[in-house]
Structure 1
Amino acid sequence: MTTDFSTEQATREETLVASVPTDLLIGGRWVPASTGARFDVEDPATGAVLTTVADASVEDGAAALDAAVAAQASWGRTAPRERAELLRRAFDAVTARADDLALLMTLEMGKSVAEARGEVAYGSEFLRWSSEQAAHVAGRYLPAPDGKQRLLVVKKPVGPCLFITPWNFPLAMATRKIAPALAAGCTVVLKPAAETPLTALLFAQILLDAGLPDGVVNVIPCTAAGDVTGPLIADPRLRKLSFTGSTPVGKHLLKQASEQVLRTSMELGGNAPFLVFDDADLDAAVEGALLAKMRNGGEACTSANRFYVHSSVASAFSEKLAARIGAMKVARGTEDGAQVGPIINQKGRAKIAGLVDDAVAKGARVLTGGGPVDGPGYFFSPTVLADVPLDARLLKEEIFGPVAPVTTFETEDEAVALANDTEFGLIAYAYTASTARALRLTERLETGMLGINAGVISNPAAPFGGVKQSGLGREGGEEGIEEYLETLYAGIADPWA
């Protein structure tokens, strides 16, 4: 693992960071926190402070909601085509600034620049997809079955929204929420993760440059998230809450939201099973496992968390996977060829180490990796564990790091039972040559998404979301914009009477 970088690279990084707004965006203006407080944003690859950002207070949160409420009526009446064209301009601008956004994400989150460029491409597509949907929100008009009335069904913006986004995909999680909200005619208060506020702030500036009216999007980074967002959730003027993060926090937010009967979207924790059957193309399964496990260094809710492999191919699969994962370059994300960056912070790395130690103590074998990497930053060795016992904690808890635990099964029924043995149900993966089995799995697995012979399936044109304790609602696809629309039904007297 290395963290060296040139003076030229350091200068570019400093120049980019210095160009990013670091105040709060409220009502179309960049303003300091009302208390004057600021907090550090750290590079997890080095532990160095990149810059400081305004730390929003309860009063700042209230001001942001005030601005969103004030802008709601006019934005909701804005022509759909105008909203669509603004989103398209934002897509073009994000695409034009892909290098800056990718580097910024690498600096504050740690992922490799190559991976960050992939996020820019993915995140920007939500802007383009939503721009294409904005002008196609449709209701319906029809006669009642008894002919005595005409039934008019109208779609209207939900209203002001609060978005709470995580640190692992700082651009895509913002665009996945903001784009459909704007397309539907809703205004927004965004609370980005304190670990990665810079990407959200730069994206907000891009929206302003694209012509976004004042107050339509407000951004309030803060360290006391609960203190700031609690009063907003309790405010009857807020009409929608969307959160991506852990299940415990999501449950707490749902309790708060119930007091105002808020519309909610919750994209919560995952514990994704990755099934490899005896008829699978083993090389393809290994390639898919690399994508499903190592995307974002394993710090993704869609990351494969448990590998269940048929006993007849488990040894070969594990050895091939260990060889590939063990050869991945661990380095600061800006370095040439970097494939695995740091864990977001020391707390996250310590959790991963604890899960691995628990599995090994219970009998798992380390095929590669196995522990933290010495040196600056919060790096953890890409790890493959074989013979993982079913009582190991990492088969029950979300790892959120570059660790692949492998255990075996004998029958399809056993594989399905193991996969479903969790309170989570976000995504699952399966490799098999049998079309009939693939169809059975779509009916038998308790999951919101399923990758069949594919290690990555996230797409802005498809509905992203889970079942059970992995969440509520969907983001993306035609379903995504519906999360930001209310349905009004009007019964109209028969015009021919």
Structure 2
Amino acid sequence: MVSETELLSSIPTQLWIGGPVDATGGTTFPVHNPATGEVIAQVADATPEDAMRALDAAAAVQAQWAATPARQRGEILRAVFEAITARAEEFALLMTLEMGKALPESRNEVRYGAEFFRWFSEEAVRVHGRYQPAPGGVGRILVHKQPVGPCLAITPWNFPLAMGTRKIGPALAAGCTMIVKPAGETPLTMLLLAQLCSAAGLPDGVLSVITTSRSSAVTAPLLNDLRLRKLTFTGSTPVGKKLVEQSAHGLLRTSMELGGNAPFVVFD
């Protein structure tokens, strides 16, 4: 198993837009180990201009990725699943370092987070349509499913791998490109995942990761651009409501997992 220092030095800390790139202006923000308060990395702090660079990349390759045979898309997802599994201990350690989850819990998340890529690698070839007689008895109804287009995923800090894989997996399987904006507290896990996807053969621009300390400012121009066709968000209900309001401009399809603030008592 690699040491903490070796692991952290191997993680890309730039934005991932067709590969690692600096943020506009070269600014960064710190990632802290919540157990110690120590700064474990400085990652690129994306600007609205960087968000548009990611959307430009996603839009540029959308048609190519949608035309990629489903079997080939599935094989790439399967290769990423195998890469995550092979590096499970590294992913677990990284999550523990950046968000404080106990190591056994991190290992559990790696297992079930990786499963989304295995599941959707198999579902990629099962995006079925429908062919049936018209109700009036004249003619036939043909339903043909197509990728919706570039998607934006906004993921939370508490499950930095699994909340990404369960959004990225189905999008890539269906032939959609994806931009991920991970939580500012836990960007490193998603950057490592992007690196593995690229190594597995995912074409440049199909998956981008934009890390930022200014989420609202960075995502707003994406939601106002008609090239973006879907938004998926996991987080608080108030933020989810605002995102749905913003997404109405382009009539974006939305998937929202909101809430979950339950009371609890902490003893000594």
**Does 1:12 find its partner at 2:38?**
no
**Does 1:165 find its partner at 2:116?**
no
2:207 maps to which residue? 217
Counterpart of 2:217, as a letter, is D
Alignment partners' CA distance in 2, 1:137 and 1:69: 22
Unmatched runs of 5 consecutive residues or more in structure 2: none
Q: Residue 166 of structure 1: SS of its match in structure 2?
A: coil
Alignment partners' CA distance in 2, 1:269 and 1:71: 34
**Does 1:254 find its partner at 2:262?**
no
User: Once the two structures are superposed, what CA deviation does each residue of 1:219-273 show, in whole Å capped at 9, x if it has no partner?
Assistant: 00000100000010010000000000000100110110111110000001125xx
Matching of residues 415-426 of structure 1 within 5 Å: none
Identity %, equivalent residues = 60
1:93 maps to which residue? 83
User: Once the two structures are superposed, what CA deviation does each residue of 1:152-204 show, in whole Å capped at 9, x if it has no partner?
Assistant: 10111111000000000000010010000000100001000000000000010
Alignment partners' CA distance in 2, 1:264 and 1:147: 35
Matching of residues 10-409 of structure 1 within 5 Å: 12-26=3-17, 28-270=18-260, 305=262, 369-370=266-267, 381=268
Alignment partners' CA distance in 1, 2:116 and 2:72: 17
Q: TM-score, normalised by structure 2?
A: 0.97
Alignment partners' CA distance in 2, 1:203 and 1:146: 50
Unmatched runs of 5 consecutive residues or more in structure 1: 1-8, 272-304, 307-351, 357-368, 371-380, 382-497
Shift of 1:12: 1.0
Runs ≥4 in structure 1, deviation > 6 angstroms?
Answer: none
Aligned length: 268
User: Once the two structures are superposed, what CA deviation does each residue of 1:67-98 show, in whole Å capped at 9, x if it has no partner?
Assistant: 00011001011111111111100100000000
Q: Residue 159 of structure 1: SS of its match in structure 2?
A: coil
Q: TM-score, normalised by structure 1?
A: 0.53
Q: Residue 162 of structure 1: SS of its match in structure 2?
A: strand
Q: Residue 236 of structure 1: SS of its match in structure 2?
A: coil
Using CA pairs under 8 Å that are at least 6 residues apart, name the structure with larger relative contact order, 1 or 2: 2
Alignment partners' CA distance in 2, 1:163 and 1:270: 19
